[in-house]
Structure 1
Amino acid sequence: MIRRWPVIVSAIVALGALSGAAAYQHVAPGQDEQKQRERKGDWQEIAWPFPRDGWPAGKAFRCGAAACGGALELYLRPKLGFCNCDRGVTDDDEVDRVADLDLMSEHFAPLAPGDIVRLADMPGRIRAYDLKMSDGSPHIAVGVAVSRRCDLLVAVARGRGDEPGMRRAALAFLATSEMTRWMTVAMEGR
């Protein structure tokens, strides 16, 4: 009986160590997810809300009012083989045509001339719009179209906040390393 005690004690210590390691592994991912959410500024991925069209569905995200200065949704997707291969996106008319604003509302009007923008090392343009939704409610949208070779990447941020704040929040999120990686891979057609 005395010879068994060291074996029993060793087994209890080993089981305790294993259960402690397992408990740590279950706690750690939750903490990592929380830190990742804080870095992303409370952006949460949501389902692509639009019906199918000639292009594949993209990614959609929502940012809460507290984190983004008003509830904000962002939609982005590649449109491979849809760009002027020589010039890329060089004018506001092209942003108006390709930025998927028509998926949200048929009634949109530019607020001002657009600006040059760069996402994931792709040049293009960004422009703000006044959107009138089907229920009559006013929204602001920020449309982005950037290109690489003959391919487009389009993004639209939509919300009720002020346009400069929406633009800053959307561009900051799109500039995160996670989104830059996704855009790069999506533009390569993988």
Structure 2
Amino acid sequence: MRRWPVMVVAVVTLGALSGAVAYQHVVPRQGDHKGAWQEIAWPFPRDGWPAGRAFRCRGASCGDGVEVYVRPKLGFCNCDRGVADDDEVDRVADVDLISQGFVPLAPGEVVQVADMAGRTRAYDLKASDGSRRVATGIAVSRRCDLLVAVAHGNGDAWETRRAALALLANREMTRWMMAAMEGR
């Protein structure tokens, strides 16, 4: 008979704790990020790398419906050279997750994200429905580790790049990227 109240208290406590944990992992609502960025679920199937974070922006601050996908690839970089050329950006930046039909628009450029150096490159994409989209691949490194991001949208490739780099420069994102690069 004395076990019944203890069991009720335990069930209520576990329910409250799981509710608190669920609340902390709720996807932010529109407007919770600077501009109109909203975190969304990672849309790609599992591969050899862990899933990262995905964001969508539908505001005037980011052009025409830009989505950005960011993830670390620990132990996957040339420890001596880092991200040295456009071929490496083409190979590692996850553009192929969006479309296998991607074509570079121009030579890439050197970029700095947080305290990591690397390259960025713009692409023309052929979507599965035949429509045209643009993408920007970003690959930066620290020691022997990569952080990759790919952004895509319907608008201008350079506006898509600007929006993605602005998101990555956000203080919250910088904190997350640095922790992810340390394997936390």
Q: TM-score, normalised by structure 2?
A: 0.82
1:146 maps to 2:140: yes
Given candidates 29, 37, 42, the residue that maps to 1:43 is 37
Aligned to 2:124: 130
Query: Offset at 1:38?
Result: 6.8
Q: Deviations over 1:81-116 (max 9, x none)?
A: 000001000100000000001111110000000000
Q: Unaligned 5+ residue runs, structure 1?
A: 1-32
1:1-190 → structure 2 map (5 Å cutoff): 37=31, 40-190=34-184
Could you tell which deviates more after superposition, 74-83 or 39-48? Answer: 39-48
Q: Give the CA deviation at 1:164.
A: 1.7
| Aligned AA (1:57) | A
Check the 8 A contact 2:32/2:38 in 1, yes or no: no
Q: TM-score, normalised by structure 1?
A: 0.79
C-alpha change, 1:57 and 1:159, in structure 2 (3 Å) is same
Q: 1:141 to 1:73 in 2, by over 3 A?
A: same
Distance apart, 1:66 and its partner CA: 3.1
Identity score, percent: 72
CA-to-aligned-CA distance 1:51-76 (integer Å, 9 cap, x gap):
00000000000000433121000001
Q: Distance in 2 between matches of 1:80 and 1:37?
A: 31
Aligned-residue CA RMSD in angstroms?
1.6
User: Retained in 2: the 8 A contact 1:65–1:72?
Assistant: no
> Which amino acid is 2:100 matched to?
E
Distance verdict in 2 for CA 1:105–1:62, change over 3 Å:
same
The code of the aligned residue for 2:168 comes to: L
2: CA distance between counterparts of 1:164 and 1:128?
A: 7
Give the residue type in structure 2 aligned to 1:106: Q
> In the aligned structure 2, how far is the partner of 1:127 from the partner of 1:164?
10
Which of the pair has more CA radius of gyration?
Answer: 1
